[in-house]
Structure 1
């Protein structure tokens, strides 16, 4: 009876809504298949005869969600971060991405990418590949083999790129459709995503074609929006007929017509934000990248207040940290600078708020993911924070222990990882 159920015991910490932190000390979560049946402070009597995985005094939190990660840029972490966005792309990013024409090189890098995602506790991720459909299919396969969940996109670029990364419009669309057909039903937790790099690298014909594919195959979309003032000026030159940057994507059917992630969103005007909220566009906030490339501080509090969904992104390799815990800390830090710049009028973020963004906020793009509520898929990290405490572990509340892990913990503290109800061991490629 009920032998298909899993019961896990520990200190549950999760964020069911923005700013709300739920803590359940010495409690139980019951998982049926992929999904959570319930959380209980006392185990119901009908389950008393079932085996329990008891993690003792460890923290159990939802797995981290990374909404924006450029997998082929992994080897470039820490390089060129004394430049702005556009020079950095030309000098570092495009030359590195051109190497992924070589499938052996791609496999070597992507094995490391997926292992690092697992190691740092990212259980769901939205990944950019390159223009190369075979290499990007390898990336998707490795993510699935590791048991992680996510979206993987073949990047599209038919203008304003180096010769080694330039596609024709027809080839870009044909390769994208081949990629979709070969991968859309291959894996349970990993799916393709339509990925125009950004407006400057995609003609209107390409964007329209990608929108048709998104609709035809019912796929989400990911791209970049308003990351850098030079980029925004460039978009205005390329599309003078459009009211703003967001309107370009809207015009070509890539702005919420299918579920959409837009990374950065630092300089959007009121009309753009209203359109983002109306079209249910999700923002990937990438504080490390925005700092490293001198892009600016996104007005995330304003976006959320106006009804825009926001999750977090590492933005490897504009960002240098794979750890979403570290991205959470950076999100708090830059929000404090925004608070100061606003004459202390725009409140800075709290730990429960950024924890929500890193879990349920970003996880909602994948469905019922990122919380320990009934019906949610059980993605979880088990955190042994014993070594982070200066005296006895009971000195700190569960909320304080979470905060200390975010700021001073690392992957050594993650002793178990679950994705969709299944425990995931370290990938062996």
Structure 2
């Protein structure tokens, strides 16, 4: 049975990369807009005054006069098994993995434990307005099964993969080149492109995979269509030095992956802080993307991502919260920190560009811009209703905003999960604020 519903509010979405068309032409904004959804897809978007007249009288119109509707946020790098170890104190990347991450991930050998965390993880994402994410599982096959089962039940567009890790980790968390291939293949055959789900081949990072295992990752990518590759790249100075020691024949860190045919239009590399021009150019040439993860880069003392350099080389960039090294599920908090990272380098992050990175930019990084990331007619109806009166401070600040750009900037600095009034996936409410 066909169903149609409409939402009336201020509405904003990005329609292009501000770098390519300029900030003023990169978005559409309707001060009093109407979003019409039919059977989970957007069927109309525009000014309420013109669209309401043509709307069938029986169609329900939900009115939110003190709100702003935007596309659902897209998180291009996050670890669901690290949800419960967020805000762990005091070390940098490599020690952090050994001290906190590996012991926590060992618990995901238990499918029931993984299912519990997956449910809470997705609830937290939706509570923060994130409707799509590129997600790390653990080395355990059942960790990904649990995640996909939970995501399928909510009809979410999600991407996940089993970690491949056959060295430099505790024995209880390692697999082998062959077992990682077989487990990943079984997951791909069961879950990849089932409904709104996608699979990502997921070597943790170069130091924890032997060349033999990286070859198996490349083999998987060659055997199945439309798979993602999801891993880490040049996050920490000590990590980069370690990679050079382990792979002395590689020209640079990225070349380790390149030698195993792991770069493509569906390859997403988290961090990319300490890259040379040759690496940026190779990412660009292959259509690979970088996930910009400012809260974890600051929290773990990893460094400042050079967004300007990535954009100069025309590398696709999306935003990543990188929980649990990242310190918040909120894309508002992530953009807040991104603004400061850019400021520290003597530059500015325009609010239109920031929201582009968190929505359409993320969709382009994931090659899903025909489905999500904006509110164009035909797109999947994944969107968020923001409450501009969510807190007293936010309310009084936004009352003084005279432009949508200023409104967006205030939101990215002051808003948090309280501003998410409701979250929708395929036109169905999947989170409603109490």
Do they superpose with TM above 0.5? yes
Indicate conservation of the 8 Å contact 1:66/1:362, yes or no.
yes
Equivalence map 1:124-203=2 (5 Å)? 124-185=132-193, 187-203=194-210
Aligned to 2:329, what secondary structure does the other structure show? Answer: coil
Q: For residue 378 of structure 1, what is the aligned residue in structure 2?
A: 381
Q: Give unmatched runs, 5+ long, in structure 2.
A: none
CA distance in 2, matches of 1:18, 1:237: 38
Q: For residue 356 of structure 1, what is the aligned residue in structure 2?
A: 356
Residues 104 and 4 (structure 1), Cα distance of their counterparts in 2 relative to 1, 3 Å cut: closer
State yes or no: 1:307 paired with 2:306: no
Deviation readout 1:277-327 (Å, 9 max, x if unpaired): 111111100001111111100111210122011010000111111101110
Residues 104 and 12 (structure 1), Cα distance of their counterparts in 2 relative to 1, 3 Å cut: same
Equivalence map 1:26-65=2 (5 Å)? 26-41=32-47, 42-44=49-51, 45-49=53-57, 50-65=59-74
Indicate conservation of the 8 Å contact 2:360/2:369, yes or no.
no
Q: For residue 213 of structure 1, what is the aligned residue in structure 2?
A: 220
Residues 395 and 351 (structure 1), Cα distance of their counterparts in 2 relative to 1, 3 Å cut: closer
What is the CA distance between 1:224 and its match in structure 2?
0.6
Which moved further from structure 2: 22-31 or 305-314? Answer: 22-31
Which moved further from structure 2: 271-280 or 15-24? Answer: 15-24
Q: For residue 344 of structure 1, what is the aligned residue in structure 2?
A: none
Normalized against structure 1, the TM-score is what?
A: 0.92
Aligned to 2:60, what secondary structure does the other structure show? Answer: coil
Residues 32 and 230 (structure 1), Cα distance of their counterparts in 2 relative to 1, 3 Å cut: same
Indicate conservation of the 8 Å contact 2:156/2:196, yes or no.
yes
Aligned to 2:359, what secondary structure does the other structure show? Answer: helix
CA distance in 1, matches of 2:403, 2:77: 32
Indicate conservation of the 8 Å contact 1:67/1:284, yes or no.
yes
Q: For residue 94 of structure 2, what is the aligned residue in structure 1?
A: 86
What is the CA distance between 1:193 and its match in structure 2?
1.1
CA distance in 2, matches of 1:199, 1:316: 20
Aligned to 2:379, what secondary structure does the other structure show? Answer: coil
Equivalence map 1:290-305=2 (5 Å)? 290-305=297-312
Q: For residue 229 of structure 1, what is the aligned residue in structure 2?
A: 237
Q: For residue 6 of structure 1, what is the aligned residue in structure 2?
A: 5
CA distance in 1, matches of 2:423, 2:239: 39
Residues 39 and 394 (structure 1), Cα distance of their counterparts in 2 relative to 1, 3 Å cut: farther
CA distance in 2, matches of 1:350, 1:391: 18
Q: For residue 422 of structure 1, what is the aligned residue in structure 2?
A: 428
Q: Give unmatched runs, 5+ long, in structure 1.
A: 340-346
Indicate conservation of the 8 Å contact 2:252/2:279, yes or no.
yes
Which moved further from structure 2: 48-57 or 105-114? Answer: 48-57
Higher relative contact order structure (alpha carbons within 8 Å, sequence separation ≥ 6): 1
Aligned to 1:79, what secondary structure does the other structure show? Answer: coil
CA distance in 1, matches of 2:421, 2:384: 8
Residues 24 and 83 (structure 1), Cα distance of their counterparts in 2 relative to 1, 3 Å cut: same
State yes or no: 1:261 paired with 2:268: yes
Equivalence map 1:380-395=2 (5 Å)? 380-386=383-389, 387=391, 388-390=394-396, 393=399
CA distance in 1, matches of 2:213, 2:247: 14
Deviation readout 1:177-228 (Å, 9 max, x if unpaired): 122222225x412222111101111111211111221222221111011111
CA distance in 1, matches of 2:155, 2:411: 24
CA distance in 1, matches of 2:345, 2:231: 25
Indicate conservation of the 8 Å contact 1:225/1:262, yes or no.
yes
CA distance in 1, matches of 2:212, 2:428: 43
CA RMSD of aligned residues (A): 2.0
Deviation readout 1:15-58 (Å, 9 max, x if unpaired): 22233343211111233333333322133443253432222231
